[in-house]
């Protein structure tokens, strides 16, 4: 079977890279832009209307011990199977991407062994309609000219493991790295018949990777794939949410305007040493600062604790949770409810942007510019012309 997906329809805006694609994964339709569902935060009764999302995203972080357990212990394997099937069912059986992150606990980064790659790719394949190459963020952060061939060897090993018995397309893994490495990674995937990718921004903002993102687009065009690719993105930051600012710009949504097709979740674990997080807890109220509610009207993420009575206006009438789930709930319940509301609003916004491409392709930059919390520097980054 071909490892490529077949793009059936492609439209792009005149003034930004905002675009819409139509294709199928596992005989299930996908239309972009879309926000992939992450059902792990859903309440039992949570429902997102089927027309608002085209994909479901699973995300598991696995280390040496957990990999061995799911491979050798029936109980551990059953836990992962149940979690996967529950998520797929709650999504309404949307096409599913099971993204796996390999975590090594050693001080120095290391690549998975051959046996670990077999377990990782087997798990990704079993729970996905399109099989993602597992991510290795710790090794990706340490990429250099001297060790980059090791990274390509890892991609080759994953590809080989999947292709032993493959009946699905493959989703290539692209870390947030420099332009040179991004170009070579894209080359590798196209040479192996792969035209669908996910970019792991590793908790950073898209705008800090402008050169790499442009290099990706240039390389796709050089190889004749400008209109024949799919780009999913995960772990993207909209700014330092631990800051005390009342509102932060929804820079994650601007990824659509930069030609990315599907927004996934934020699944980042700690990246710094424990001492930093102890310092952070002593100087910042992290929970208050990170619990933020999205307002689609102005592209702002608002600190819930500062909203007061205004919060009733920001909770949309078609929200999948009740106002009481946020206003009068416990802290943990409120945090979970806010995540559901934000995901729902991101889903709604993706459909609005899809309509813009089809009906007003020359007005997408003006649409983003009409959002009061979109920063001028980001608007300039979106524009196809010099401003």
**What integer is the mean pLDDT of 89-108?**
93
**What integer is the mean pLDDT of 282-310?**
83
Residue 274: exposure state from Cβ atoms within 10 A (0-12, 13-18, ≥19): exposed
Q: pLDDT higher for 281 or 372?
A: 372
Percent of the chain residues topping a pLDDT of 90: 86
Tell me whether residue 286 is in a domain.
no
Q: What is the three-class DSSP state of 204? A: strand
Helix and strand totals (H; E) in the chain: 14, 14
Tell me whether residue 356 is in a domain.
no
Tell me whether residue 322 is in a domain.
no
Q: What is the pLDDT of residues 350-361, one digit of tens each?
A: 999 999 999 999
Residue 240: exposure state from Cβ atoms within 10 A (0-12, 13-18, ≥19): exposed
Q: What is the pLDDT of residues 219-263, one digit of tens each?
A: 999 999 999 999 999 999 987 655 578 999 999 999 999 999 999
Task: Read off the pLDDT band of 276 (50, 70, 90).
Answer: very low
Provide the pLDDT for residue 275: 57
Tell me whether residue 334 is in a domain.
no
Provide the pLDDT for residue 286: 52
Provide the pLDDT for residue 328: 84
**What integer is the mean pLDDT of 25-50?**
96
**What integer is the mean pLDDT of 303-320?**
91
Answer whether residue 279 shows pLDDT above 60: no
Provide the pLDDT for residue 387: 43
Summary mean pLDDT of the chain:
93
Provide the pLDDT for residue 283: 47
Query: How many residues comprise the chain?
Result: 387
Domain range for 187: 7-276
**What integer is the mean pLDDT of 285-299?**
83
Of 210, 216, 153, the closest CA to residue 186 belongs to 216
- Please give the order of strands across the beta sheet that includes 7-12: 7-12, 19-25, 28-31
Answer whether residue 37 shows pLDDT above 50: yes
Provide the pLDDT for residue 385: 76
**Cα–Cα distance for residue pair 264/274, rounded to 1 Å:** 27
Tell me whether residue 348 is in a domain.
no
Tell me whether residue 329 is in a domain.
no
Q: What is the three-class DSSP state of 59? A: strand
Tell me whether residue 46 is in a domain.
yes
Answer whether residue 366 shows pLDDT above 70: yes
The number of domains in the chain is 1
Whole-structure pTM value = 0.94
Answer whether residue 280 shows pLDDT above 60: no
**What integer is the mean pLDDT of 199-223?**
96
**What integer is the mean pLDDT of 346-351?**
98
Tell me whether residue 373 is in a domain.
no
Provide the pLDDT for residue 278: 59
Query: Looking at residue 58, which CATH number applies to its domain?
Result: 3.20.20
């Amino acid at each position: 079977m071909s490892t490529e997906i077949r793009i059936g329809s492609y439209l792009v805006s005149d003034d930004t890279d905002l675009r819409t694609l139509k294709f199928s994964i596992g005989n299930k339709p996908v239309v972009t832009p879309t926000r992939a569902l992450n059902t792990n935060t859903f309440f039992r009764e949570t429902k997102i209307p089927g027309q608002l999302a085209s994909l479901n995203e699973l995300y598991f972080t696995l280390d040496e011990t957990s990999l061995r357990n799911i491979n050798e212990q029936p109980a551990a394997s059953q836990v992962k199977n149940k979690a996967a099937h529950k998520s797929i069912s709650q999504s309404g059986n949307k096409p599913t991407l099971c993204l796996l992150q390999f975590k090594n606990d050693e001080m120095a980064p290391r690549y998975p062994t051959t046996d670990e790659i077999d377990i990782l790719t087997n798990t990704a394949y079993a729970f996905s309609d399109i099989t993602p190459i597992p991510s290795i963020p710790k090794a990706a952060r340490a990429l250099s000219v001297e060790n980059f061939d090791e990274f390509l060897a890892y991609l080759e090993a994953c590809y080989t493991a999947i292709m032993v018995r493959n009946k699905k397309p493959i989703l290539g893994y692209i870390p947030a790295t420099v332009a040179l490495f991004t170009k070579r990674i894209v080359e590798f995937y196209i040479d192996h018949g792969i035209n669908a990718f996910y970019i792991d921004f590793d908790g950073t903002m898209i705008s800090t990777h402008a050169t790499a993102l442009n290099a990706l687009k240039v390389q796709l065009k050089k190889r004749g794939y400008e209109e024949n690719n799919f780009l999913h993105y995960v772990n993207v930051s909209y700014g330092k949410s631990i800051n005390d600012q009342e509102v932060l710009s929804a820079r994650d949504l601007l990824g659509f305007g930069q030609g990315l097709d599907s927004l996934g979740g934020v699944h980042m674990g700690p990246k710094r040493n424990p001492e930093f997080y102890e310092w952070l807890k002593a100087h910042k109220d992290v929970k208050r600062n990170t619990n933020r509610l999205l307002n689609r009207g102005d592209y702002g993420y608002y600190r819930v604790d500062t909203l007061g009575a205004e919060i009733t206006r920001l909770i949309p009438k078609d929200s999948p949770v009740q106002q009481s789930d946020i206003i009068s709930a416990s802290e943990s319940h409120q945090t979970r409810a806010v995540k559901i509301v934000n995901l729902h609003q991101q889903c709604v916004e993706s459909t609005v942007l899809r309509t813009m491409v089809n009906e007003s392709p020359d007005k997408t930059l003006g649409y983003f510019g009409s959002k009061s919390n979109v920063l001028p520097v980001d608007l300039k980054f979106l524009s196809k012309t010099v401003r």
